[in-house]
Structure 1
Amino acid sequence: MQFSFIPTDVISKVISNVDFSNKHYQLALSLVVINPTIWNVVARLEYKHRIFSKITGSPKRACYGLAITIFTLGLIRDYYFKLGGCLEQNHNVGFLGSFWVKALGGLCFAAGQTLVLSSMYALGITGTYLGDYFGLLKEERLTGFPFNTCEHPMYDGSSLSFLGVSLFYGSPAGILGSAFVKLVYSIAQQFEGPFTSMIYAKRDEQRRAKK
C-alpha cells in the first residue's frame, strides 16, 4: 500500500522520535505478539485434546479460565502500551499536537470501542473468548451489527482503539505501535478465521449426517 500523500520527511521525523530502547514500549509490543499466540495455542490444544476441559471439569469452566487469562494479559498490554508508547514518548511532531489530531484520536477510539463492546455483547463471554474451540458453538452465524460492517470487529476495533489513544496523545511511538498491532492481528486472523470455519463446517456436516 502506498502512502504517497504523507511527506517522507514527516514519516522520517515520526520514526526518529521513537525510542525503541524504551523497556515499557518493548514489553507492550512483545505482549501484542504473545497474547494472540497464547490464546490460539491454548484454544487449539483444547480443541484437539480437551486438555483444559479435563483439568477444570467442564468446557465452560475451561473457556472462562481462558477468558480471564486473555482479559488480564490485555490489561497488562494496554497499560504498558499507554505508558511506554504514549506517555513516555508523546513527542508531538508537527501536526500531531493539533486539536484536530486529538479529535480524530477521540473518534477512532470511540469507533474502536463501539466495535469491541458490541461484538462482546453479541457474542457473550464464550463467543468472545474462543468458546468454539471448547465445543461451545453458536447455533448460527451472527450477521447483525457489528459483523455486518467488518469481518473481524474485535480485532479491527482493538486496532482502532490503539490508534485513537496514540493520536490523542500525539505519540509517534504509539502510532507506529498501532500499525504493528494491526499487522499482528491481521496475521492472527489468517489462522483463526479458517479454523473457526472448519469447526462450524464439521458441526453442520455432523448434523446433516444425523438427519
Structure 2
Amino acid sequence: MSSFPVSLSELVEYVDFNQQSFLISAASIAFNPTFWNIVARREYRTKFLTKLFGGNRDVACYALAVTIFGLGIFRDFLYERALRDQPSHPALEGENVTYAAYALLAIGNLLVVASTWQLGIQGTFLGDYFGILKDKMITGFPFNITSAPMYHGSTLSFLGTALLYGKPAGILLTLHVLIVYTIAIQFENPFTAGIYAKRERERAKAAGFEEKKEL
C-alpha cells in the first residue's frame, strides 16, 4: 500500500498541462457560475427570460434550471474525461484513499441533495432573481453547517472523484473549483441579500401605508 500524504509539488509533477481535455475542463468549471450569474442578473433587471416565456416567471425559472442542470452534467462529463487523460499517482491508489474518496462523495452529495430539498427547484436555481422569494431564511441542515452547501458539496464531490481516479490533475481542478465558487459567492450573496432587503423595505412601506389608512 502506498504512503500518503504526498507533497503538492510532487503531485503537480503528475499533471499533464498539455492535455487539451484538462484545459477544456478548467474552462467549463469557470464558465458555469459565470453564465448563470450573468443570466440571472439580467433577468432580475430586465425580466428578459420571463418575457420570453410569455410573462410566466415560474416557467422561465424552470427553463433556466434545466439549462444550468444540463451545463452541470456536461461539466462533469468534461471533468471525468480530463481525468482519464491524466496520469495517476501511486500515492492516490491505496485503499485508504479510496475510502476517503467515497466518504467525500457521500458527504458532497448529501449537502447538495439536502440543500435542494430545503430550497426546492426554484430556490436552488436562482428563483430569487425571478422574484420568487422564500418567506424566511432557511437555517436548518445543511445551512446550519455551511452558508453555501451546493457549492461546498459540489467541491467535495470533485475532490472525491479526483481521489477515486487517483489523479493529481483532479486535485488541482478541485482547487480551481473552490476558487471559482468562492469568487461566485462573493458576487451572489450580497446581491441576493439586496433582493431580500428590498422586499423588506417594500413590506415596511406597505405596512406603514396601511397604518396611515387606518388612522
Global fold match (TM > 0.5): yes
TM-score by length of 1: 0.93
Counterpart of 2:79 in structure 1 is 81
Q: Please tell me whether the aligned partners of residues 43 and 49 of structure 2 are also in contact (alpha carbons under 8 angstroms).
A: yes
5+ residue gaps, structure 1: 1-5
Q: Give the aligned partner of residue 69 of structure 2.
A: 71
Q: Which residue of 2 aligns with 1:124?
A: 120
Give the match for residue 36 of structure 2: 39
Determine helix, strand or coil for the equivalent of 2:141: coil
Cα deviation, 1:91-144, whole Å, max 9, x if unaligned, reads 124x21111111111111100000000001111110000000000001110010
Rounded to whole Å, the distance in 1 between the matches of 2:103 and 2:130 is: 36
1:38-80 C-alpha deviation (Å, 9 max, x unpaired): 1000000000111110111211111111111111111111011
CA distance in 1, matches of 2:122, 2:198: 19
Aligned to 2:165: 169
1:48 aligned residue:
45
Identity across the alignment (%): 45
Query: Higher Cα Rg: structure 1 or 2?
Result: 2
Contact 2:16 2:87 (8 Å CA) reproduced: no
1:210 maps to a residue whose letter is A
2:57 is aligned to 59
RMSD: 1.1
- 2:88 is the alignment partner of 1:91: yes
Following superposition, the deviation at residue 90 of structure 1 comes to: 4.4
AA of the residue aligned to 1:98? G
Structure 2 CA distance for aligned equivalents of residues 67 and 187 of structure 1: 21
Of residues 133, 138, 142, the one that matches 1:137 is: 133
1:83, CA displacement in angstroms?
1.4
Distance 2:105 2:204 in 1: 43
The one-character-per-residue Cα deviations of 1:166-196 (angstroms, maximum 9, x if unpaired) are 1111110001100110010000000000000
The CA deviation string for residues 125-166 of structure 1, in whole angstroms up to 9 with x for no partner, is 100000000000011100100000111000000000000111
**Cα distance, 1:20 vs. partner?**
1.4
Shift in Å, 1:88: 2.1
Is the Cα–Cα contact under 8 Å of residues 162 and 174 in structure 1 kept in the other structure? yes
Unaligned stretches of 5+ residues in structure 2: 208-215
What's 2:212 paired with? none
Q: Structure 1 pair 90/103, CA: closer, same or farther in 2 (3 Å)?
A: farther
Paired residues, number: 202
**CA distance in structure 2 between the aligned counterparts of 1:66 and 1:79, rounded to whole angstroms:** 20
Residue among 89, 106, 112 paired with 1:110: 106
Task: Please say if residues 90 and 171 of structure 1, whose CA atoms lie closer than 8 Å, have aligned partners that are also in contact.
Answer: yes
